[in-house]
Chains A and B, each alone.
Chain A
């Protein structure tokens, strides 16, 4: 017998659970749970209603129900999903529609970072870094005000006026906020761009 892929034809309706270890291509209608340790292709005229637990799902038709994939979910331009997606990798093509929660966790047992992620710097400390970034972005206005004060301070010094050390923030303090010891390259540019526009006012 020829080696054929399991296919559920267009005029076939299956009401019940499907379990398997090989790829399935669905053109028909399935109502029930699918447990597949392989790839599931849900083609264009197809309609699947139920929970899917697969390795890899390619949705070209319609699915109502949660999809749990251990490898990847792909939603094609004609794909429609009403349900939650649980997968480490996800591709939604332009035109594809998804309504539901998306949870992307790395597959259990795999600790490597996804290739698209930026490699973390050596001094990276996750909660501290994100806090620092947060401080910088939310405190932009106060930074700008401090910068203005420091410029004023410098001007005053230039013209020989007296200065009140307490009211003017220390330059070293301000510098610490934007010194890129653990902050990544784009951030200093960000602040300088904002500085320029604010000072113009």
Chain B
């Protein structure tokens, strides 16, 4: 089972879970998932993120901690620090922050 948050949904609070989460809406607060997190193009996150694996197509303002890898795709905006053993930044991604790969 996976979770999907549509583009017209705004969540203000904490999301925790152990299954895949796809975000196309807006989240403000904190996200802690023990599985893959996908932030879609219309997704906007103003939160601290902890996930296993992150694919970012949308906007994130906040620090990002991943256990496996972080991928910043073309067109995304990442404003915050990334802590992850593997980071992939595609051409066209916008990133402002620190990267720490020593986990």
Contacts and interface: CB of A to CB of B under 8 A. Distances in A.
Give the interface residue-count category, chain B. Answer: 20 to 34
B12 A28 contact: no
Contacts of A28: 3, 17
A18 B9 CA distance: 7
Interface in B4-53: 4-6, 8-21, 24-25, 29, 33, 40
Interface centre among A9, A19, A32 (most CB of B within 10 A): A9
Contact of B10 (A5, A9, A10, A20): A20
B13 A5 contact: no
A18 B8 contact: no
Contacts of B25: 6, 20
B101 to A, nearest CB: 29
Nearest to B32: A13
B19 A10 contact: yes
Given A9-B17, A9-B19, A10-B19, A16 B4 contact: no
A113 B4 CA distance: 39
Contacts of A32: 13
Given A7-B3, A9-B2, A12-B21, A19 B9 contact: yes
Main SS at interface, chain B: strand
B6 A16 contact: no
Interface residues of A, number: 24
Given A1-B40, A28-B17, A9 B3 contact: yes
B1 interface: yes
A17 interface: yes
Interface in A113-138: none
A97 interface: no
A11 B15 contact: no
Interface string A75-93: 0000000000000000000
A13 to B, nearest CB: 5
B11 A16 contact: yes
A1 B6 CA distance: 11
Given A6-B5, A9-B19, 14 more contacts: A5-B4, A6-B4, A6-B6, A7-B4, A8-B5, A13-B15, A13-B16, A14-B13, A15-B13, A16-B14, A16-B15, A20-B6, A20-B10, A24-B6
Interface of B: 1-6, 8-21, 24-25, 29, 33, 40
The 7 tightest CB contacts between A and B, nearest first, are A16-B13, A12-B17, A20-B9, A6-B6, A9-B3, A9-B1, A21-B8
Interface of A: 1, 4-22, 24, 27-28, 32
